[in-house]
Structure 1
């Protein structure tokens, strides 16, 4: 999908589901970190935190007590609508959600102590502008090799056919060019098990892993064959591959 198609997809998902996968029944083996926990470790009670690509805001709301002010931005109107509704239900007074492009972050220079970005595009120069000196940037991204057996079954998918590691190297280079120091990267490739057919369909419907999933009956035929080939005692097996980057300004 191109950028316009991704925006349309996330607008639709935002209005239908936000970015709430709490009802999704999966288990994993081999994950090496919890990204939200890593973000909270870099905050203190006086921190200003910016979250890029905040989606429906569920994640940011869950760590509201980690910082003095938390601001979530997302380019999708649908996502921000969901985030605003979720915030009203939370009764948290130190969070703000704004529709904003990651490539044009409209905040004062050096305003934030911590900037996070999970599974969303970012621009190193924009982050450098709004991050205070000695501030920390953390991002977790989906590796090209994520959900590889699903993509192979469908013959298409997010990052399918791209060499694994390309995105990580791109971001590492851009952060270094933007003047960040102490740049560290980590990665894991964990096993993931979906508990049922319905769980996997929900996941594919509300993520861009398989573009346009479900628009033809043939997709469901492929899915059924995939499940038959990958059904294990623990569930329907695939993989979760992630990389994380931490950098200091």
Structure 2
């Protein structure tokens, strides 16, 4: 199959529907893989759930992670801001009695002061002041974040540098926000694991699933640099880009 035909084949495959926060179409088939982190967000959350009576999952995506934490605390709530995810999350979490609240602003959460013993947040923006408000005294906040330099190499390869405006978002910046709000026992780590793509279709699917990586992305607009990446993958077998992850845990005084 000629390069152009193969590229078109992958582009067509990348039109597979994406819902919730499920990348299994490219991860479970081995088309995209990531170097493991030195920590487990899931393990940290599971450990902290012991004896907790109330839990808020910020940015639940399609509810995939939260639904696997069963048995859940008696009072469990979730938020989501990305519109396509909301019906997916509601359908998944409704059997557990969890209502997914739609949120548009980080500093406006539709909950009472001190309502939750534990607030968890995986790859969702947050306001430290608002997290503190909804946490009960002595409550815990656990977050894993996608740093501002995530997959920057892909943007550079596509000459989409102007679309990359979150370089300041890292562990130190986030930690300072928590310190300013008086959080205690702040711990964390930051790493840049490699993410490997094995075909151009996996990259196209990834960019469709995360439209904020390159907000004006279309295959036609970026066809020329995409073809260069496609050619490199076909020669080498894969292409690597550095991801950016960090986590923080903190206690409300």
TM-score by length of 1: 0.81
**Higher share in strand:** 1
Q: Structure 2 unaligned runs (5+)?
A: 1-16
Larger Rg: 2
Instruction: Tell me if structure 2 keeps the 8 A contact 1:60–1:70.
Output: no
Q: Structure 1 unaligned runs (5+)?
A: 1-14
Deviation at 1:126, TM superposition (A): 0.8
What residue is the counterpart of 2:101 in the other structure?
98
What residue is the counterpart of 1:22 in the other structure?
24
The 3 A distance-change label for structure 1 pair 199 and 130 is same
Per-residue CA deviations over 1:31-73 (Å, capped at 9, x if unaligned) read: 2223223222211254311111222211211223253433110
Aligned length: 230
Task: Give distance in 2, aligned partners of 1:118 and 1:21.
Answer: 15
Instruction: Tell me if structure 2 keeps the 8 A contact 1:74–1:102.
Output: no
Deviation at 1:225, TM superposition (A): 0.9
Per-residue CA deviations over 1:170-204 (Å, capped at 9, x if unaligned) read: 32222111110111221111111123322221111
Equivalent position to 1:137, from 114, 133, 141: 141
4+ runs deviating over 4 angstroms = 230-234
Q: How is 1:9-158 mapped onto 2 (pairs within 5 angstroms)?
A: 17-25=19-27, 26-44=32-50, 46-88=52-94, 91=95, 93-100=96-103, 101-156=105-160
Deviation at 1:86, TM superposition (A): 2.3
What residue is the counterpart of 1:229 in the other structure?
232
Q: How is 1:143-222 mapped onto 2 (pairs within 5 angstroms)?
A: 143-156=147-160, 160=164, 163=167, 166-207=169-210, 208-214=212-218, 217-222=220-225
Judge which range, 199-208 or 228-237, deviates more. 228-237
The 3 A distance-change label for structure 1 pair 36 and 54 is same
Per-residue CA deviations over 1:79-100 (Å, capped at 9, x if unaligned) read: 2212112235xx4x25331113
